[in-house]
Amino acid sequence: MQYQSQKVAIPYFVGAIVLFVAQILFGLIMGLQYVMGDFLFPEIPFNVARMVHTNALIVWLLMGFMGAAYYLVPEEAETELHSPFLAKLMFWVFFAAAGLTVAGYLLVPYSTLADITGNELLPTMGREFLEQPTITKIGIVVVALAFLYNLGMTILRGRKTAINLVLMIGLVGLAVLFLFSFYNPTNLVLDKFFWWWVVHLWVEGVWELILGSILAFVLIKVTGVDREIIEKWLYIIIAMAFISGIIGTGHHFFWIGTPEYWQWWGSIFSALEPIPFFMMTIFAFSMVKQRRRNHPNRVATLWALGASVMAFLGAGVWGFMHTLSPVNYYTHGSQLTAAHGHMAFYGAYVMIVLTIISYAMPLLRGRTAANSERQQTLEIWSFWLMTIAMTLITLFLTAAGILQVWLQRVLDSPLPFMAAQDQLTVFYWMREFAGVMFLIGLLLYIASFFVGDKEPEASVKTIA
């Protein structure tokens, strides 16, 4: 850490991990509801648990991105942050808004929440992932604007690197596209069409820029490879991400009342979407191979490599599996979608946030380069537990999805939805056990911040 103001990243990282825990706990509740339908009914119905699960994920990833930006932008720009106070203030605004929203989800029925928060004035609630009350959405916009202002002023004053610029483009794009969440016409097709402008163009568009720039930053730090080379890779990867991903939005326009040509456009371009992720894997591994130094923070390197592999598997391979329209005709809206969603979010975004936390947190807490040997060993365990657990979750959901599609959509006399679900119980149980394994991994991860934090730092020599 070179600049005092980078410390504002700490609350963002801590807040992100707190919400991460909430996300996983509610995920386990949902997993149990899949096999014990009336679990916690009527206190926490499935839809409420799901809102907490998905919204907590989105918010903690955003917090992670913000923390990452507050950490890396000053270092890249070689100047202190424009206003550390504004950054801290916005953290508390954001965290309070997230907490109040989750409390609202849990304490009152959703329709009451809509009433209290004045959804009538500008109805935006009740659409997947955008369930937040309209005032929370406005709050997110305010936080995002303050955040972009703060970073923008910092970059304007300092050095303008490719990493900073790409990160800024990603974050500005994120904020701009979020504005489409305020558009909610009665026409269902228009509603869905532009809903994807938020959802798809986030996760398969501008977020990839954020992902790429964080990965590039960490790789420069841990490998010591020349910035020119890394930034060149970064540009080519994000160019491919946009070339494939923008028109790739079309893979959501197959069956929602949009013209049929999207089946061609969407299939062709989304078939190319694995390419940037594949390039990212090659990039990460070749940079580590060409490293000019061994960094004592080996677990950060592990997260970076892991993110590149899991993002390729989850977003690339599992996405490709059902992206072609003739396949998607059968798999659309099945457990296969859930399988892909889980691994893609974990691989691409959860892991990149954990990468930057893993790299930055030791420095923010006063270490010169890395955590102690014991902390790192624990964190490596948590890496493998969470990653293997997520792989298992994905595999079990894939099995469930294939069987579901077969029973409910392919058979000559197809089963009704609930009858098909009954046949999948065994996979849902296995998924739930994998979920418990994930939680154990997460608890170990948190423990790695406290166990052995008084011990001396790991040094390069101690690495075999």
Partner 1 sequence: MTATTATIGCSSQSKYPSGDLAIWVFILAELLVFGIFFAVYAFARMNNVELFNEFQQHLDLNAALINTWALITSSYFVVRAVAAIKEGNSQLCVRWLLAAIAMGAVFLVVKSGEYAHHFGQGINLSTNSFYMFYLSLTFFHFMHVIMGMVILAAVAIKAHQGGYSASDNTGVHTGASYWHMVDLVWLILFPLVYVMR
Partner 2 sequence: MSEAFTKSMARNIFYGGAFFFLLLFLALTFDTINALPKLDNRAALESPVGPQIAKGKHLWEVNNCIGCHTLLGEGAYFAPELGNVYKRYGSNLDAVKGRIKGLISLPAEGIPMRRMPRFKFTDEEIAALAEFLKYASEINTSGWPPNDQG
Site for partner 1 in 217-276 (CB under 8 A): 232, 236, 239-240, 243, 259-261, 264-265, 267-269, 271-272, 275
Please, which of residues 382-411 interact with partner 2 by CB under 8 A? 408-410
Q: Which residue's CB is nearer to partner 2, number 198 or number 385?
A: 198
User: With binding defined as CB under 8 A, does residue 92 bind partner 1?
Assistant: no
Retrieve residue 399's tokens.
């099995």
Please tell me the count of residues contacting partner 2 according to CB under 8 A.
Answer: 78
Residue 88: contacted member of partner 2, partner 1, none (CB under 5 to 8 Å, by partner type): none
Residues with Cβ within 8 Å of residue 30, at least 6 apart in sequence: 46, 49, 50, 53
Please, which of residues 91-150 interact with partner 2 by CB under 8 A? 109-111, 114, 119, 123, 125-128, 131
Residue 114: contacted member of partner 2, partner 1, none (CB under 5 to 8 Å, by partner type): partner 2
Q: Which residue has the tokens 């894939």?
A: 398
Task: Quickly list DSSP for 53-79.
Answer: HHHHHHHHHHHHHHHHHHHHHHHHHTS
Q: Which residue's CB is nearer to partner 2, number 163 or number 386?
A: 163
Q: What is the largest CA-CA distance in the chain?
A: 67
Q: Which residue's CB is nearer to partner 1, number 93 or number 236?
A: 236
With CA atoms as reference, report the closest residue to 391 among 350, 342, 439.
342
SS3 call for 457:
strand
Question: Considering the complex, what minimum distance in angstroms separates the CB of residue 353 from partner 2?
Answer: 23
Please, which of residues 148-167 interact with partner 2 by CB under 8 A? 162
User: With binding defined as CB under 8 A, does residue 250 bind partner 2?
Assistant: yes
Q: Which residue's CB is nearer to partner 2, number 158 or number 266?
A: 266
C-alpha span between 369 and 298 (Å, rounded): 10
Segment interacting with partner 2 (CB under 8 A) among 274-282, 286-294, 330-338, 368-376: 330-338
Please tell me the count of residues contacting partner 1 according to CB under 8 A.
Answer: 16
Residue 271: contacted member of partner 1, partner 2, none (CB under 5 to 8 Å, by partner type): partner 1
Handedness of CA 406, 412, 413, 417 (dihedral sign): positive
With CA atoms as reference, report the closest residue to 15 among 64, 78, 55.
64
Please, which of residues 184-223 interact with partner 2 by CB under 8 A? 184, 186-190, 192-193
Residue 409: contacted member of partner 2, partner 1, none (CB under 5 to 8 Å, by partner type): partner 2
C-alpha span between 371 and 375 (Å, rounded): 6
Residues with Cβ within 8 Å of residue 169, at least 6 apart in sequence: 206, 209
With CA atoms as reference, report the closest residue to 387 among 432, 358, 354, 338.
354
User: With binding defined as CB under 8 A, does residue 414 bind partner 2?
Assistant: yes
Report whether 340 contacts 273 (CB < 8 A): no
Q: What length is written for the chain?
A: 464
Give 8's DSSP letter: G
The correct pick among 36, 426, 436, 463 for binding partner 2 (CB under 8 A) is 36
φ, ψ of residue 372 in degrees (nearest 5): -70, 165
Q: Which residue's CB is nearer to partner 2, number 49 or number 370?
A: 49
User: With binding defined as CB under 8 A, does residue 255 bind partner 2?
Assistant: yes
With CA atoms as reference, report the closest residue to 349 among 391, 307, 390, 319.
307
Residue 125: contacted member of partner 2, partner 1, none (CB under 5 to 8 Å, by partner type): partner 2
User: With binding defined as CB under 8 A, does residue 438 bind partner 2?
Assistant: no
The correct pick among 334, 358, 376, 391 for binding partner 2 (CB under 8 A) is 334
Q: Which residue's CB is nearer to partner 1, number 35 or number 243?
A: 243
Q: Which residue's CB is nearer to partner 1, number 181 or number 270?
A: 270
C-alpha span between 385 and 432 (Å, rounded): 15
Q: Which amino acid is residue 363, in one-letter code? A: L
Report whether 343 contacts 310 (CB < 8 A): yes
Residue 275: contacted member of partner 2, partner 1, none (CB under 5 to 8 Å, by partner type): partner 1
Residues with Cβ within 8 Å of residue 441, at least 6 apart in sequence: 381, 382, 383, 384, 385, 386, 387, 389
Residue 332: contacted member of partner 1, partner 2, none (CB under 5 to 8 Å, by partner type): partner 2
Q: Which residues pair with 372 in a beta bridge?
A: 457
User: With binding defined as CB under 8 A, does residue 37 bind partner 2?
Assistant: yes
Question: Considering the complex, what minimum distance in angstroms separates the CB of residue 261 from partner 1?
Answer: 5
With CA atoms as reference, report the closest residue to 322 among 246, 415, 394, 259.
394
Q: Which residue's CB is nearer to partner 1, number 138 or number 272?
A: 272
Retrieve residue 366's tokens.
């006063």
Retrieve residue 321's tokens.
């599996």
Residue 410: contacted member of partner 2, partner 1, none (CB under 5 to 8 Å, by partner type): partner 2
Please, which of residues 225-244 interact with partner 2 by CB under 8 A? 226, 228-229, 231-232, 235-236, 238-239, 242-243
With CA atoms as reference, report the closest residue to 256 among 133, 128, 344.
128
Question: Considering the complex, what minimum distance in angstroms separates the CB of residue 234 from partner 1?
Answer: 12
Q: Which residue has the tokens 């508390």?
A: 92
Q: Footprint of partner 1 on this chain (CB under 8 A)?
A: 232, 236, 239-240, 243, 259-261, 264-265, 267-269, 271-272, 275
